[in-house]
Amino acid sequence: MTDVSDTQTSAEHTDSDAELPPYINREHSLLEFNRRVLAQANNESIPLLERLKYLCISSSNMDEFFEVRLASLHELQDDPGAVTQPDQQSPQTVIDSLSAVAHDIVEEQYHTLNHVLIPALRKENIRFLRRTHWDDVQKNWLSDYFKDSLQPVLSAVGLDPSHPFPKVLNKSLNFIVSLEGKDAFGRSNGLAIVPVPRSLPRIIKLPPEATDGENDFVFLSSILHANVSRLFPGMTVTGCYQFRVTRNTNLFIDEEEVDDLMSALRGELSSRQYGGAIRLEVADNCPQHMIDYLMDRFNLNEQALYKVNGPVNLHRLNTVPDMANRNDLQFPPYQQKNLISQKAQPKGALRLFTRQKNRESLFDRISKQDVLLHHPYDSFNPVVDFLREASADKDVLAIRMTLYRTGEDSAIIKALEKAAQNGKEVTAVVELRARFDEDNNILQATRLQDAGVHVVYGVVGYKTHAKMILVVRRENGRIRYYTHMGTGNYHHITTRFYSDFGLMTANQAIGRDSSKIFQQLTSLGDTKDLEALLQSPFTLKSGMIERIQREAENARQGVSARIIAKMNGLDDQDIIDALYQASQAGVQIDLIVRGICSLRPGVSGLSENIRVTSIIGRFLEHHRIYYFQNSTGKPELFCSSADWMRRNLVSRVETCFPILNQQCFQKVYTEGLAIYLEDNQGAWQLHPDGHYHLKTNNTAPPFNAQTALIENYSGN
C-alpha cells in the first residue's frame, strides 16, 4: 500500500493550460461523469449483463441531468444577473454548450445498445426480436397478449376540440398516431395520442410456447406498433411513433411562508409530474411535421429535441438481467460479512456481532473500542442490531436519529417504532426534501409519529443531510453516550452497493457534540464549542480550509505536506482556491472525486501538484474522507456526510467526525484512500482540459481497488 508520505508525479500539462479558465463548469463535469459510466457498458472485461446495467444507469443519470440540473439552469434564465458557480458563465451560454455534449452522449448510448450490446447478447442467446422477424406463432401470441394485457388498460385520445392534447406525465411512454378515415361520429381527426401506463412492463419475455429460445424478449413499443390499429376501429393508422417528454422536477416551496412543511410538500409533489418541459425524445423515423407539432405543444426548440433509434427509456432495460437468469453473465455474488474478517481488519481489532443468544452487549463492545464498518463489504446488520438492542435495553433513556433516505419496509423504522413503544424517548429528524424520496419520507415520518416518535423535519432552508444515531444510556447512575456516525444513508438497499464508512463509538466528546446538534435541530438553539465534530453550515467549511492552509504553510516552511481527500463532488470555490494555493506552496494533493469536479488539476502555476482521480466500478463510491498529514506527527483523518460542494457546506446540516482510534484510522486510510491511488483498472484521471482518461500504469500489474477489497474481505 502507498505510505502516507508517498507522492505521485503531477498530471501532464502544456503551455496552453495557462489559458484555461480556473474552474470547470459543474454541469459539464456531471456529463463527463456520465461518459465514464457509459464507458463501462463498452468495457469487455465486465460481465455482459452488468454492461447492460451500466447503460441503464447512464440513461437514468441523463434523465436526472435534464429534470434537475438543466431545469435549474433554465430557471436561472429568469434572473438577468445570474451566473453559474463557480465558473461565472451566463445560464444560456452553459445551456448551449451542454446541448452538444448531451446529444453526443445520447447518440453514443443508442450506438452502444444497437451495435455493441444487442449483438453481444444475441451471441449469448439473449435476443430482442423485432417485428419484422416475428414468426406466425410469435405474432399470434403477441396479438393475444395485446388483447388480454394491454388493450384493456390503454386509453387512446383522439385529438379534437373536446379532446385536447392530454397532460403528458414526466418521463412517461407515449405514442403519437396519424390516422385516415372517419371516426365513429363521421369526423376526420388525423392525430391521436396513446399514453402507456407506467404499470405496464416495457420488456416482455416470450414463454416457451411462443419461441424456441430461452431468452427471447420483445419491446412493449413493438407490440403496440403491431396492434395499434385495434385502438381505432374503422380508421386507418398511417403512422405510430413513440415519444417521451422530460420535465422540470424541482419543487417550489417557500418554506418561510408555510405553516406545515409536510402538507405543503404533499401538495407540491402532485404537480412534479407536470413541470415545464425540458427535453423531447422521439423516434428517429417520426415525420418532421409531427415532431414540429409535439415541440409546439411542449413549447420546446430544436435544441431540446432528441431523436432516438430504440426505446425512449433505456433505463427500463434494467429488468432484463433478472429475467434472463444468466448468472454467468453477471458479477459473482458477494456475501456481505457480519463479522469483520481478520484479514480486512488490523490485528487485534474487534470481531463484530454474532447472533448468539448470550453474546456480549453491543454497548459493552463499543465501550471497549471504536467499531468501524466498511460497507458494502461489511453488513449493515450491526447498525440495525445497535438500534434493536437500544430499543429493548432497560438502561437506554433516549434514541435520536437523522433520516435522509431509508427505503421502504425499513428495519431502521421498525426499530425506532419499537423503541417508542417500549417507552424510550425517541426523536427522528426526517428530511422530507430528500430528492425523489419525498413520498417515502412523508410515509415514514407519519408511521413514526403514529408510533409515538417525536418527529421534526430539520431546519427551514437547510436540508438535514447528517448521518447520526445517538443513544443515551444510564450506567452506574451516570449518563453515557453511544454514537453511530456515517458517510452514507441508513438505507438497507444502498448499503449493499454503496461504499461507505460507519463508526460506532463511545467517545464521550463525540457523543456530547452529537447531543448538542440534535438539540439544535429540535430547539433551533445555537450550538457552540463543539469538542470533536465539525458541522455545516457553521464550522465544517472553515475547519477544512484551516487545515488546507496549515498544510500550505508547512510546505512553505520546508516540511512535508500532504492532502488526500475522497468525495462524491467538489465545486465549492473557496475550497478550490485554498487547494490551488496549497498546490502552489508545494503541497502534494490527491483528490478522489467520483462525480462533479470543478477544480482543474495539473495546470502549471496553478495546480500542478494536484491530481484528480475518479473511480467507476461495481460499487458506487460514496465515501467522504479527508486526510491531512499535519507536521506535528499526528496526521488528521475525518469522515463526513458532506462533500466539498457548496450546497453541503453552506445550505445543509452536515457532520464531519474524526477517526481517533489508531486501528480504525489505519483501516480508513488504507481501504478508503491508499488502495484507490493504486487502482489502474477502474480509475480515470482528470486532465487540465476537463476530460478524463483511463489511468494506466504499464510498469505495474493490473490492480482494481474494489476487487482487492472483495477478495480481502472474502479471505482470498
- CATH code of residue 556: 3.30.870.10
Transcribe 28-64 into DSSP letters.
HHHHHHHHHHHHHHT-TTS-HHHHHHHHHHHHHHHHH
Last residue of a domain, one of 531, 556, 579: 531
What type of residue is 538?
A: F
- Residue 9 falls inside a structural domain: no
The answer, yes or no, to whether residue 145 has pLDDT greater than 60, is yes
- Mark whether 596 and 480 lie in a shared domain: no
Domain at 209, CATH number: 3.30.1840.10
- Say if residues 661 and 637 touch (Cβ distance below 8 Å): no
- Residue 106 falls inside a structural domain: no
- Mark whether 561 and 453 lie in a shared domain: no
The answer, yes or no, to whether residue 492 has pLDDT greater than 90, is no
- Mark whether 556 and 672 lie in a shared domain: yes
On average, the pLDDT of the chain sits at 89
The answer, yes or no, to whether residue 696 has pLDDT greater than 60, is yes
pLDDT at 185: 64
- The lowest-confidence range among 144-148, 435-439, 480-484 is 435-439
pLDDT at 342: 33
How far from 130 is each of 31, 214, 216, 496, 649, CA to CA, in Å? 32, 16, 10, 36, 51
What is the rounded distance in angstroms from the CA atom of residue 438 to the CA atom of residue 499?
23
- Residue 350 falls inside a structural domain: no
- The lowest-confidence range among 3-12, 125-134, 644-653 is 3-12
User: Which residues carry a binding-site annotation for Mg(2+)?
Assistant: 405, 435
Last residue of a domain, one of 503, 531, 559: 531
According to DSSP, the β-strands at 636-640 and 625-628 are: antiparallel
The answer, yes or no, to whether residue 567 has pLDDT greater than 50, is yes
3 state SS of 581: helix
- Residue 10 falls inside a structural domain: no
Q: What is the rounded average pLDDT of the residues 383-406? A: 94
Residue 3's pLDDT band (boundaries 50, 70, 90)?
Answer: very low
Residue 23 DSSP one-character state: B
611 versus 714: which is more confidently predicted? 611
User: Which residues carry a binding-site annotation?
Assistant: 61, 405, 435, 498, 594, 622
Last residue of a domain, one of 531, 553, 578: 531
Q: How many domains does the chain have?
A: 3
What is the rounded distance in angstroms from the CA atom of residue 472 to the CA atom of residue 495?
25
What is the rounded distance in angstroms from the CA atom of residue 77 to the CA atom of residue 439?
29
Q: What is the rounded average pLDDT of the residues 580-605? A: 98
The pTM assigned to this predicted structure is 0.91
- Residue 566 falls inside a structural domain: yes
The answer, yes or no, to whether residue 267 has pLDDT greater than 80, is no
The answer, yes or no, to whether residue 189 has pLDDT greater than 80, is no
- Mark whether 231 and 157 lie in a shared domain: yes
Q: What is the rounded average pLDDT of the residues 446-470? A: 90
Residues 6+ apart with CB under 8 A from 636: 547, 627, 628, 630, 658
Cell numbers found for residue 424: 424510550
Please identify every residue annotated as catalytic: 465
pLDDT at 497: 93
The answer, yes or no, to whether residue 517 has pLDDT greater than 60, is yes
- Residue 475 falls inside a structural domain: yes
pLDDT at 479: 97
Residue 80's pLDDT band (boundaries 50, 70, 90)?
Answer: confident
Give the CA diameter of the chain.
90
Question: Quick one: which H or E segment has residue 415?
Answer: helix 411-421
CA angle 230-236-240, nearest 5°? Answer: 75
- Mark whether 527 and 541 lie in a shared domain: no
pLDDT at 17: 62
Structure confidence by residue, pLDDT tens digits, 279-335: 999 999 999 999 999 999 999 999 999 999 999 999 999 999 999 989 999 999 888
In the numeric block, the cell 453516550 is attached to 481
- The lowest-confidence range among 108-117, 434-443, 666-675 is 434-443
- Mark whether 544 and 434 lie in a shared domain: no
pLDDT at 162: 62
pLDDT at 608: 97
Domain around 625: 15-24+535-714
384 versus 273: which is more confidently predicted? 384
- Mark whether 651 and 557 lie in a shared domain: yes
The answer, yes or no, to whether residue 668 has pLDDT greater than 60, is yes
- Mark whether 609 and 679 lie in a shared domain: yes
Question: CA-based Rg of the chain, rounded to a whole angstrom?
Answer: 28
Helical spans, DSSP H, in 422-524: 438-450, 508-523
pLDDT at 445: 84
Share of the chain above pLDDT 70, in %: 90
Q: What is the rounded average pLDDT of the residues 421-443? A: 82
- The lowest-confidence range among 65-74, 117-126, 260-269, 476-485 is 260-269
- Mark whether 542 and 522 lie in a shared domain: no
Residue 263's pLDDT band (boundaries 50, 70, 90)?
Answer: low
Residue 184's pLDDT band (boundaries 50, 70, 90)?
Answer: low
The answer, yes or no, to whether residue 391 has pLDDT greater than 70, is yes
The answer, yes or no, to whether residue 344 has pLDDT greater than 50, is no
Residue 273's pLDDT band (boundaries 50, 70, 90)?
Answer: confident
- Mark whether 250 and 237 lie in a shared domain: yes
- Residue 599 falls inside a structural domain: yes
6 versus 249: which is more confidently predicted? 249
- Residue 63 falls inside a structural domain: no
Residue 661's pLDDT band (boundaries 50, 70, 90)?
Answer: very high
pLDDT at 340: 35
pLDDT at 274: 75
User: Which residues carry a binding-site annotation for ATP?
Assistant: 61, 498, 594, 622
Q: What is the rounded average pLDDT of the residues 370-397? A: 96
- Mark whether 256 and 146 lie in a shared domain: yes
- Mark whether 277 and 382 lie in a shared domain: no
